[in-house]
């Protein structure tokens, strides 16, 4: 197993339990890849990179016997808005949703459209989710399943036409369109109108998790998820070696050899199969091939610790506004403007992003009784922008200025300080490449792919028969899901009886 990300741990456990001898080689001194917790500030254990769980199927949790608590958030999202010079916003989640739509849009029509749209999406989600742990269906079969369950519109909206067209067909309000659109742009640098439908694929994977699309907070942070995966792997007999960087892979379809460096000593191990838990271009290099291009990642991750939550100008309590996803300058027009600016090589003037306060759902990650973590996941900040070393600080300043437009208390006044320094950590796509070997900082190891194929396989094959992909770049593999790991293990066990 090359790499010890969460997907590799899932694959390793299934294989070890099926009686295979499994070795996991991880270059860092810990497993988990982007699904880990860290303590950048005293008394805090936060999800350093990924933070919410949706795509991890209950079946994998139960097959592996993972002891996890995934907690629903009290609010789905809040979007602060200035309309006609008045501070207001859109609150989605619970009984306040309908009133919030009416007060923002002036009628009930947009809310009814929202209900109908997400009703169809939920029915689509159930059928697509039910196919993810099986060999890939054909496009025709999947289309039939979706159309039967959710109607032909659901298929067209998500699979056939650019997301921008869907948003303009279904919704009328710029802010409502933006709230829907953001699911198509997480970690994905594209226009919503792009004919390659990259945003549609990203949207799809953000709404189908476990058939509900609910994004839940892992209690104890992402580190708790990886700790459980590591526990079941070890208990199943998997041998995990950390600080072991794989330096070469050779395979002829039947046998394989993996070279790695551990404790400054070069090792070689022979294997029947190699499962790649790393990005495709990393595997290319290990195979001695020119690395393929990887679509740029596009997110800025900022984690801060606050003494208190800031009050909002709209009057909505901070404990409601920040309990779910806080959309910052993410209207449909904001998103497209920021895309155009960033694609032209400029820092977005009003960079869009979303914020999360995990401590409102899980207090176990912070020791102090009043402290709160706040995480920003910024959109449309591709790798190229960071060629200028000043870009990182300038973007953080623009995000803070954007947030402060909606706050009574400037965010800087709420930051916790230790030894005179604010508790703030920033990760650009370049940092992800350096720390996690995610090429171009792409959080999915590359552009996401459709969950169908003309060949009924598991979507984990490479051009070498005994090298399989057990990572994010497998078909249906993006996010913290373990799906790629499960499917690689099933593919191997199915072809090697
Ligand atoms: C900032 C950020 C926020 C995110 N937010 C979310 C979220 O909230 N929810 C969600 O579902 N997903 C989220 N994601 C995406 C998710 O984290 C990834 O899709 C997921 O981690 C992929 O898991 P993986 O096991 O396939 O690969 P990775 O997590 O990338 O793990 C690959 C492992 O391989 C190791 N490796 C690389 N090269 C070598 C080598 N030569 N030898 C040995 N080991 C090597 C790496 O060190 C790493 O440990 C986020 C990602 C990022 C970066």
Range of the domain at 279: 6-35+56-70+221-291+458-495
Kindly state whether residues 153 and 236 are assigned to the same domain. Answer: no
Q: Is 274 in the pocket of ligand 1 (CB under 6 A)?
A: no
Output the domain CATH number for residue 234: 3.50.50.60
Count of structural domains within the chain: 2
Domain boundary among 181, 211, 241: 211
- Kindly tell me the sign of the dihedral angle through the C-alpha atoms of 386, 390, 393, 395: negative
Residue 395 included in any domain: no
Kindly state whether residues 266 and 203 are assigned to the same domain. Answer: no
Alpha carbon distance 336, 333 (integer Å): 5
Of 37, 40, 38, whose CA–CA distance to 416 is shortest? 40
Contact call for residues 386 and 429 (beta carbons, < 8 A): yes
Kindly state whether residues 124 and 203 are assigned to the same domain. Answer: yes
Q: Is 33 in the pocket of ligand 1 (CB under 6 A)?
A: yes
* For ligand 1, mutation pick of 4, 33, 52 (most atoms within 8 Å of CB): 33
Kindly state whether residues 142 and 190 are assigned to the same domain. Answer: yes
Kindly state whether residues 187 and 266 are assigned to the same domain. Answer: no
Domain boundary among 166, 184, 211: 211
Contact call for residues 294 and 281 (beta carbons, < 8 A): yes
Residue 432: both structure tokens together? 């992800």
Residue 409 included in any domain: no
Residue 482 backbone zone (phi > 0: left; psi -120 to 50: alpha; other: beta): left
Kindly state whether residues 239 and 198 are assigned to the same domain. Answer: no
Residue 448: both structure tokens together? 């996401």
Residue 19 included in any domain: yes
Residue 468 included in any domain: yes
Q: Is 3 in the pocket of ligand 1 (CB under 6 A)?
A: yes
Residue 475 included in any domain: yes
Q: Is 285 in the pocket of ligand 1 (CB under 6 A)?
A: no
Kindly state whether residues 141 and 60 are assigned to the same domain. Answer: no
Residue nearest to ligand 1 atom 18, measured at CA: 479
Kindly state whether residues 244 and 148 are assigned to the same domain. Answer: no
Domain boundary among 159, 189, 211: 211
Kindly state whether residues 65 and 142 are assigned to the same domain. Answer: no
Q: Is 230 in the pocket of ligand 1 (CB under 6 A)?
A: no
Residue nearest to ligand 1 atom 47, measured at CA: 436
Question: pLDDT by residue for the chain (497 residues), tens digit each?
Answer: 999 999 999 999 999 999 999 999 999 999 999 999 999 999 999 999 999 999 999 999 999 999 999 999 989 999 999 999 999 999 999 889 999 999 999 999 999 999 999 999 999 999 999 999 999 999 999 999 999 999 999 999 999 999 999 999 999 999 999 999 999 999 999 999 999 999 999 999 999 999 999 999 999 999 999 999 999 999 999 999 999 999 999 999 999 999 999 999 999 999 999 999 999 999 999 999 999 999 999 999 999 999 999 999 999 999 999 999 999 999 999 999 999 999 999 999 999 999 999 999 999 999 999 999 999 999 999 999 999 999 999 999 999 999 999 999 999 999 999 999 999 999 999 999 999 999 999 999 999 999 999 998 999 999 999 999 999 999 999 999 999 999 999 999 998 65
Atom of ligand 1 nearest to the CA of 437: 37
Kindly state whether residues 207 and 225 are assigned to the same domain. Answer: no
Alpha carbon distance 300, 228 (integer Å): 28
Residue 425 included in any domain: no
Residue 238 included in any domain: yes
Atom of ligand 1 nearest to the CA of 477: 26
Residue 169 included in any domain: yes
Residue 243: both structure tokens together? 């600080």
């Amino acid at each position: 197993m090359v790499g010890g990300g969460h997907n590799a741990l899932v694959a390793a456990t299934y294989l070890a339990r099926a009686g295979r001898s499994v070795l996991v080689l991880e270059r860092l001194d810990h497993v988990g890849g982007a699904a880990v917790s860290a303590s950048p500030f005293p008394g805090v254990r936060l999800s350093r990179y990924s933070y919410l769980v949706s795509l991890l199927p209950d079946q994998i949790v139960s097959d592996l016997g993972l002891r996890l608590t995934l907690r629903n958030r009290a609010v789905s999202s809040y979007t602060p808005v200035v309309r006609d010079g008045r501070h207001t916003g859109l609150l989605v989640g619970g009984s306040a949703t309908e009133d919030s739509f009416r007060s923002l849009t002036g009628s009930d029509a947009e809310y009814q459209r929202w209900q109908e749209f997400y009703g169809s999406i939920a029915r689509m989600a159930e059928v697509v989710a039910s196919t993810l742990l099986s060999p890939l269906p054909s496009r025709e079969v999947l289309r039939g399943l979706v159309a039967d369950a959710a109607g032909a519109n659901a298929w067209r909206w998500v699979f056939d036409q650019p997301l921008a067209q869907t948003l303009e067909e279904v919704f009328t309000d710029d802010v409502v369109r933006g709230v829907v659109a953001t699911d198509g742009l997480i970690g994905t640098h594209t226009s919503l109108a792009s004919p390659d439908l990259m945003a549609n694929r990203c949207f799809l994977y953000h709404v189908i998790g476990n058939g509900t699309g609910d994004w839940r907070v892992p209690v104890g942070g992402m580190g708790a998820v990886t700790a459980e995966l590591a526990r079941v792997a070890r208990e199943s007999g998997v041998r995990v070696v950390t600080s072991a960087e794989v330096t070469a892979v050779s395979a002829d379809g039947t046998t394989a050899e993996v070279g790695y460096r551990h404790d400054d000593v070069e090792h070689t191990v022979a294997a029947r199969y190699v499962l790649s838990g790393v990005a495709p271009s990393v595997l290319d290099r290990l195979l001695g091939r020119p690395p393929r291009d990887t679509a740029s990642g596009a997110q800025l991750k900022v984690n801060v610790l606050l003494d208190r939550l800031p009050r909002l100008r709209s009057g909505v309590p901070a404990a409601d506004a920040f309990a779910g996803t806080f959309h910052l300058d993410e209207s449909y027009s904001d998103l497209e403007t920021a895309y155009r600016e960033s694609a032209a090589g400029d820092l977005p003037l009003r960079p869009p992003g979303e914020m999360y306060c995990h401590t409102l759902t899980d207090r176990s990650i912070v020791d102090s009784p009043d402290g709160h973590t706040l995480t920003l996941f910024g959109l449309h900040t591709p790798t190229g922008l960071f060629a200028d070393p000043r870009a990182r600080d300038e973007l953080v300043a623009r995000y803070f200025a954007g947030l402060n437009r909606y706050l009574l208390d400037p965010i800087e006044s709420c930051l916790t300080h230790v030894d005179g320094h604010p508790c703030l950590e920033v990760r650009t796509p370049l940092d992800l490449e350096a720390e996690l070997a995610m090429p171009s900082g792409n959080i999915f190891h590359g552009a996401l792919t459709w969950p169908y194929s003309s060949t009924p396989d598991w979507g984990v094959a490479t051009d070498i028969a005994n090298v399989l992909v057990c990572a994010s770049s497998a078909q249906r593999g993006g996010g913290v899901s373990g799906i790629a790991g499960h499917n690689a293990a099933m593919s191997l066990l199915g072809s090697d009886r």
